[in-house]
Amino acid sequence: MSGQPALTTGHFTFDGQSIPLRDWQSLAAALTEAGLRSFRQTAKGATRGIFCGMGVCQDCLVTIDGVPNRRACMTPASAGQVVQTQVAFPELVTAAVPPPAAPARVITPDVLIVGGGAGGLSAAIAARKAGASVVILDERKVGGGQYFKQSAATSPLDPQQAAGAALLAEAEASGAERLGQVEIWGAFDGLLFLAEHKGAALVARPRVAIIATGAYERPDLRPGWTLPGVMTTGAAQTLWRSYRTLPGRRVAIVGSGPLNLQVGRELAEGGAEVVLIAERGPAPWLRPLASAALALAGPGLVWTGLRTMLALRKRGVPIHYATSLDRIDKDGEALRVTVNGPGGATSVVADAVLMNAGFEPQNEILRLLGARSAYDPAFGHLRVERDESCATSVPGLYAVGDCAGLGGAPAALAEGRIAGRAAAAALGLGDAHDVFADQRSLAKARRFQRQLWKLHDVKPRLPKVPDDTLICRCEEITAGQIRSGLDERPGHAGTLKRATRVGMGRCQGRYCGPVAARLVAAETGTPIDDRSYFAPRVPIKPVAISAILAAEEALKDAL
């Protein structure tokens, strides 16, 4: 595809086919670049591929060198790998046994930061300046988070990526230790965190902790949303910004929010043909007062948005406002996308369909530890209750960025600085009182966000779809099965879960769970609160049993 580095540095095989790779590519990126979109088979015979691109959905599983259940989006490609389609029920006699976990490492920093994005990095820098020892646990190999998405091997694409590189360099220079490829699977009272780090168990017992795990995208649950080639907008952005891999030659984008427009521009400039951007919100020129208020709240960011719109117009990218996704169907080797707008139904054919209709906070760790939250009906998700220092209701626990509720990267940067200083001050280090500039930056960022979302439409909707539409992509539970479960008038989403198995899959209800909570609330007439959702459970993400056992042994030795 045009716009991509052509240098091949090796090959691996996928189901016997030789696949070229470039240095630092993920398996998902290399397979996508080769035109392969189906990575695994489900129990019901369907095929799946990359969807979230950030390790949340667990749908891009493959078998690598005989070891199943490896996420292609999080695993680097390397020469000589033997990769196979993940089958639903591998024969145990043929499956390779993963190596035993190495002895656990136990760390006891002053400040533990979970998440290496904008909020986590700025918190680390602030805490280190105050004199605290800091360890950052980051799920990704390359830091920067979802907003600053770093390139794995090439120079920054634009000022946004360059700013992320500078922030990473500052965090490293501060003396904060960053551990990448860390999968936290447990969090317990007393600020005890259990994780897996590159195949070894990791036990963290900090004095204070700052959670900065960000958010993941909310999709449109419509017929065809689980087909290979359908992915979140952020997944496509990761493919391009981190690995210089286009998600397809022809791309359609649906949903609502500025990310869809930004990624549309990036992909078009990278060589893709963006055949459609369907924005659920109204055209901004039909909301002049809201548009003017947004311009006053953030003139620089609005100018960036206007340049994006002009670039899309220059390239002939059609943007349809007040238009929603209806369905996605197979069309030979491609996908046919049908949307509904003021002019009726429109269909286009694309290789890849990108969707973003809002965000869900990655708040599993916060909920496990008992941090109080309140439901925000405007965004349809929980917001963690925090004081001015970003401290939660749990002693010694802070939350910054989108994991506490959607706020955007500029707000996360300010919150990170505030929380980093406050966390260090709670340990008798530094001074947490000099926060005027950061509080002012935070207030400005929040004003901009409030105005921004008035021009978009990310309020969640109950899925009005045919009975055969999948709601739970892991367990393949359909809308019809959910409706049958609702006929029993379950009093809680957990009751619906037990009746239908919705939310019992590998992603642990991260996509269907909020939908189940809204459906039960609508059925019972009960307002949604922090107890309406599935209860968080350990492990919060799939992990090797050997890592759990190694952590248990380390804890025994520490007691």
pLDDT at 1 over 90: no
pLDDT at 3 over 50: no
**Which CATH architecture fits 103-216+360-454?**
3-Layer(bba) Sandwich (3.50)
Separation CA 12–CA 386 (nearest Å): 48
Specify whether the CB–CB gap between 55 and 141 falls below 8 A: no
Pairwise pLDDT comparison (90 vs 267), residue with the higher score: 267
pLDDT at 90 over 60: yes
Mean of all residue pLDDT scores within the chain: 93
| pLDDT grade for 559, boundaries at 50, 70 and 90 | low
pLDDT in tens, 370-429: 999 999 998 999 999 999 999 999 999 999 999 999 999 999 999 999 999 999 999 999
Confidence (pLDDT) at 99: 66
Confidence (pLDDT) at 94: 60
- Is CATH 3.10.20.440 what the domain over 10-85 is classified as, yes or no? yes
- Is CATH 3.40.50 what the domain over 470-524 is classified as, yes or no? no
Mean pLDDT of 446-465: 91
| pLDDT grade for 551, boundaries at 50, 70 and 90 | confident
Q: What angle do CA 304, 307, 164 make, to 5 degrees?
A: 40
pLDDT in tens, 104-154: 899 999 999 999 999 999 999 999 999 999 999 999 988 899 999 988 767
pLDDT at 5 over 60: no
| pLDDT grade for 461, boundaries at 50, 70 and 90 | confident
Helix 436-452 and helix 288-297: axis angle, to 10°? 160
Burial of 450-461, coded b for 16+ CB within 10 Å and e otherwise, reads ebbbbbbbbebe
pLDDT at 4 over 60: no
Cα–Cα nearest to 446, from 494, 411, 495? 411
Q: Report the length, in residues, of the chain.
A: 559
pLDDT at 543 over 50: yes
Q: Give me the residue label for tokens 């350990």.
A: 538
Element (H, E) at 546: helix 545-558
Mean pLDDT of 285-297: 93
Q: pTM higher than 0.85 for the full model? A: yes
What is the number of alpha carbons within 13 Å of residue 14 lying toward its C-beta? 24
Given the candidates 3.30.930.10, 1.20.1250.20, 3.50.50.60, 3.40.50.80, the CATH classification of the domain at 239-356 is 3.50.50.60
pLDDT at 57 over 90: yes
| pLDDT grade for 2, boundaries at 50, 70 and 90 | very low
Specify whether the CB–CB gap between 95 and 66 falls below 8 A: yes
Separation CA 163–CA 165 (nearest Å): 5
Mean pLDDT of 58-75: 94
Helix runs in 467-544, H state only: 479-486, 493-500, 512-524
Tokens (6 digits) for 380: 């349809």
Count of helices and strands (H, E) across the chain: 14, 30
Confidence (pLDDT) at 100: 67
Check if 103-216+360-454 and 239-356 are the same fold: yes
Separation CA 70–CA 82 (nearest Å): 12
Q: How many CB atoms lie within 10 A of CB 352?
A: 27
Residues paired with 211 in a beta bridge: 114, 399
Give residue limits of the domains in the chain.
10-85, 103-216+360-454, 239-356, 470-524
pLDDT at 303 over 90: yes
pLDDT at 66 over 60: yes
pLDDT in tens, 336-345: 999 999 999 9
Q: In this predicted structure, which of 88-92, 237-241, 492-496 has the lowest mean pLDDT? A: 88-92
pLDDT at 513 over 50: yes
